[in-house]
Amino acid sequence: MILLGVTGGIASGKSVISNILKEKHNAYIFNADEEAKKLLFTEEISNIVLETFPELENITSESLAKVAFKDEISQEKLNHIIHPAVGKEALKKIKEINELGHHSIFVIDAPLIIEGSSYKNYKEKGVLIILVTAPEDIRMERALSRGNLSRDTIQDRMNLQWSDDKKKEYADYVIVNDSSLDNLETNVENLINEITNKNN
């Protein structure tokens, strides 16, 4: 089973690539953001978060976003709680899916694989890191078109994420997503062919 970690900045196109892999290659998608949300509401993790951030009265997505995206230190504190827990779940799921034998590709869709240092554990297990990049102005327009975040909020999140150039040092492959969906699909197909040929 090919193991891929798909990562990139906000609105770079991670989820689009994951969907392409799911539809065209029957890939199993492990969505790290969704898993993180589930884990946040478990008693063990929510207690640690409340101890770490005394200003929080309770755990909601809105209150956490205000704290986590306030500054780099707050984001790092939250990441250090969440990322190891998500990583543990991902590795458990890889084992489970591999044993079932229904999927030839397993994708970890995660925005902060590199910043959160999860890539170290993943790489030890043979996960190939794919970085999705796009110019900041294109990403801003895409993020705004979703209609759920303001320009200032999007910019704050961009500012807290590492630059693509810095992340490239840790990636095994880079996909540039700055034009059409057709072009992106072609780039994904070419990459999967390259990885498959290397594994054979």
Distances (CA, A) of 173 to 26, 45, 132, 164: 21, 33, 9, 12
Q: At the top level of CATH, which class does the domain 2-199 belong to?
A: alpha beta
Distances (CA, A) of 5 to 90, 112, 173, 197: 10, 10, 10, 18
* Rounded CA separation 152/129 (Å): 29
119 confidence band (pLDDT: 50, 70, 90): confident
Q: Which of 93, 69, 97 is nearest to 155 (CA)?
A: 69
Please check the confidence at residue 117 and state whether its pLDDT lies above 80: no
- Tell me which DSSP letter residue 127 carries: P
Using only C-alpha atoms, the chain has a radius of gyration, in whole angstroms, of 17
Question: What's the whole-number mean pLDDT along residues 69-84?
Answer: 82
Please check the confidence at residue 67 and state whether its pLDDT lies above 80: no
Predicted TM-score of the model (pTM): 0.89
Q: Cβ neighbours of residue 81 under 8 Å, at least 6 residues apart?
A: 45, 48, 49, 52
Q: What are 68's two structure tokens?
A: 């986590």
Please check the confidence at residue 35 and state whether its pLDDT lies above 90: yes
Neighbours of 71 (CB within 10 A): 12
Please check the confidence at residue 115 and state whether its pLDDT lies above 90: no
Please check the confidence at residue 139 and state whether its pLDDT lies above 90: yes
Question: What's the whole-number mean pLDDT along residues 2-24?
Answer: 95
* Rounded CA separation 68/21 (Å): 30
104 confidence band (pLDDT: 50, 70, 90): very high
* Rounded CA separation 199/124 (Å): 16
**Which residues does residue 29 pair with via DSSP β-bridges, in sequence order?**
107
Please give the single-letter amino acid code of residue 37.
Answer: K
Q: Where in the chain are the domains?
A: 2-199
| Per-residue model confidence (pLDDT) at position 129 | 96
| Per-residue model confidence (pLDDT) at position 185 | 96
Mean pLDDT taken over the chain:
90
Please check the confidence at residue 138 and state whether its pLDDT lies above 90: yes
97 confidence band (pLDDT: 50, 70, 90): very high
Residue-wise pLDDT tens digits, 148-200: 889 998 998 898 889 999 999 999 999 999 999 999 999 999 999 999 998 76
Contact (CB, 8 A) for 22 and 190:
no
